[in-house]
Structure 1
Amino acid sequence: MTKPPSTKPLLQNADRPVRSRPRKPRNPAQPNLPLDPMPDRIEPCLALLKPKPPKGPQWVFEVKWDGYRMAVHIEPKGVRILTRGGHDWTDRFPEIKQAALWLPVGTAILDGEAVVLDERGRSDFGMLQQSLGGRGGKKRSSDAVFMAFDLLYFDGHDLTRSELGVRRHLLEGLVPADGDIRLSEEVEADGEALLRVACEHGLEGIIAKDRESTYRSGRLGDWLKIKCIQSDSFFIVGYEISMAARGHIGALLLAARRGDNLVYVGSVGTGFKESAAWKLRGMMERIKRKTPPIHYAGRRKDVVWLQPTLIAEIEYRAWTDDGKLRHASFKGLRDVQDNAAVYEVE
């Protein structure tokens, strides 16, 4: 075995400056690699909801994280953290920003999810919202971590035209397995077995991705989401008054998008915490209107109609035959910057 040197060369001759080797002149016959301009923003690739995991060797799987979709831009002038709608939330995630500055890369765009993890390592949307001060809050979250699952730009090169396998290979060499920016692990497994395990551990579901796909913005089917329990975002278009309920909110009336219009999808009357209910009531008092913003043929009494600006995250079990949510429960409010996530009825 070769013995290590007994001295440290860099510490010898301390009075002499340490110099690098002279740089060789560039061979003019060697071509320069073209650099792609760094985009200011890339519309995210969105997962299409499916009832069952796909089958086939081209599909790989990840855990579905329950948080805010974000893009971390590492640029020569600094770091930007953008929501899926393009709003700058850099100041709200100082730990993620600092972790991005430490990554060994000059320029990059990371795609992922900002989450807060519970004691069992599961993402908790309610904890994330609390750390940010609730909807419309201005708090900075020191608890959030960024689960990176794609790399769209890397040291001067646009990777959106590269296959997922290439992008993941570069991402795994860049992002650590732990820290404030960490890798969302890819799992090669049977999709149905993985979904069953995910549901048994209380996770929201799994994501399936076509390993041969390029990065295409929109909901085109290259990525699929399969959920254990359905959870989506809906506009709050009114509420029913009940003096016996928390915040005097008997139920929230919900709507989804249908093209340029809104359509009523039912109500939710459970899942409210005392303090959150009263805070929500105060917010709704400021956006009341006299007429419903949707076509409504129900028979509820004491309904207060609202401007459709508040977005609720709702957990539910299924849809009824007439297009209403079944066994719905209120999880929290989404920020207005995330309004692209409102459920769309086909």
Structure 2
Amino acid sequence: MSRRAKPLLQDDQVAKSQPRRRRDPAQPNLPFDPMPDRVEPCLALLKTTAPAGPDWVYEVKWDGYRLAIHIEPKEVRIITRGGHDWTHRFPAIAAAAKNLSVATAILDGEAVVLDEHGRSDFGALQQSLGGRGGKRTSTESILYAFDLLYFDGHDLTGTELSVRRHLLEDLLDGADGAIQLSEEVSDDGAKLLENACALGLEGIVAKHRDSTYRSGRTGDWLKIKCVQSESFMVVGYEQSASARGGVGSLLLAGRNGDDWVYVGSVGTGFNMKDAEYLRKTLDKLKTTQPVVPLKGKNLVFAQPTLIAEIDFRGWTHDGSLRHASYKGLREVQDNAAVFDMSERPAS
């Protein structure tokens, strides 16, 4: 790969964390565990400040598609966060997985496309896949692996993160192709976040080094962002005769249990081509029964189907997004969770 990711810190600023224990040489003699068809991913809980103390380690917050790479003796499967098989969409990652010196493994990581500055670019990743509903395969993407859930016939989800990382680092030692190790560092979280923001990264992820791998948002992993980015449901649009593609802004909603909560609109970040596609698609989803209590002569309401990734700078007191910008649509198969309003930080 010609491009490399922006490091969280330069090599001369801080040493990478070291595993606390050595691999047990008797491990290969342990009974084999059945390889799971799928492991529900551990998800990071949104926080506004980074945790401090020696129990926490930190990584770059990647901006791409969360994937699990299942390596089996006769095949490799690439599974999305929602459980869909996308092996055919990421051939370079699949080929790299086949070349790893392991018979069975499950890698947890994020598929990204890097920009010229070594930062993950969600829009470029979407473009490499042909956009929402596209049929292209992404040859430009690479996987940054940050966890190892199954290895050589053994289920690792019940072991500490420090042990899993040690084994992952051994497995990916020297890897510089379509699968690479996500850098992990031990240092002051606030300092790392400041550095990440200065480098133009999305933020950092903090992980408790002694935590086992638990599915869902347990608080073992935390995400702290420079510019917030979340998934929201598009519930309609505002028509405009002067705006590109006739779309003045998109109407957005977050989830509150089984209900939808209006979080404001976004009118920047999409070009003419995006706007024409959005209007055509939303017109097909048109409904006279909006899922949010809005009224307006120029508002067109749609069934809650399209999920958009939105950058924003925070929340207003009345629960709307501040300085929102459209990044792209999430694939249905990606099953990106629409933002849960219970996770919104207090004003």
Fold equivalence (TM over 0.5) = yes
Tell me the CA shift for residue 177 of structure 1. Answer: 4.1
Equivalent residue for 2:338, pick from 334, 337, 342: 342
Q: Corresponding residue for 1:82?
A: 79
Q: State the one-letter code of the partner of 1:33.
A: L
Q: Corresponding residue for 2:178?
A: 180
Q: Matched residue of 1:215: which SS?
A: coil
Q: Corresponding residue for 1:94?
A: 91
Distance 1:300 1:71 in 2: 44
Q: Deviations over 1:253-276 (max 9, x none)?
A: 001111111111111111111212
TM-score, with length taken from structure 2: 0.89
Q: Corresponding residue for 1:71?
A: 68
Q: Corresponding residue for 1:263?
A: 261
Contact 2:231 2:336 survives alignment (8 Å) = no
Please tell me whether residue 320 in structure 1 is matched to residue 316 in structure 2.
Answer: yes
Distance 2:164 2:129 in 1: 31
Distance 1:84 1:294 in 2: 28
Equivalent residue for 1:155, pick from 145, 152, 175: 152
Q: Which has the larger radius of gyration?
A: 1
When the two structures are aligned, how many residues end up with a matched partner?
314
User: Which has the higher relative contact order, 1 or 2, with Cα contacts under 8 A spaced 6 or more apart?
Assistant: 2
Distance 1:138 1:344 in 2: 30
Distance 1:33 1:211 in 2: 24
Q: Corresponding residue for 1:56?
A: 53
Contact 1:311 1:339 survives alignment (8 Å) = no
Q: State the one-letter code of the partner of 2:122.
A: F
Distance 1:126 1:236 in 2: 18
Q: Matched residue of 2:148: which SS?
A: strand
Alpha-carbon RMSD across the aligned residues, in angstroms, is 1.2
Unaligned runs of 5+ in 2: 1-27, 343-347
Q: Matched residue of 1:276: which SS?
A: helix
Distance 2:209 2:105 in 1: 21
TM-score, with length taken from structure 1: 0.89
Distance 2:335 2:116 in 1: 29
Distance 2:301 2:49 in 1: 37
Equivalent residue for 2:32, pick from 22, 35, 42: 35
Please tell me whether residue 232 in structure 1 is matched to residue 227 in structure 2.
Answer: no
Structure 1 residue ranges, 4+ long, deviating more than 6 angstroms after superposition: none
Q: Matched residue of 1:235: which SS?
A: strand
Q: Matched residue of 2:176: which SS?
A: coil
The percent identity for this pair of structures is 68
Q: State the one-letter code of the partner of 2:329.
A: L
Distance 2:312 2:246 in 1: 22
Q: Corresponding residue for 1:23?
A: none
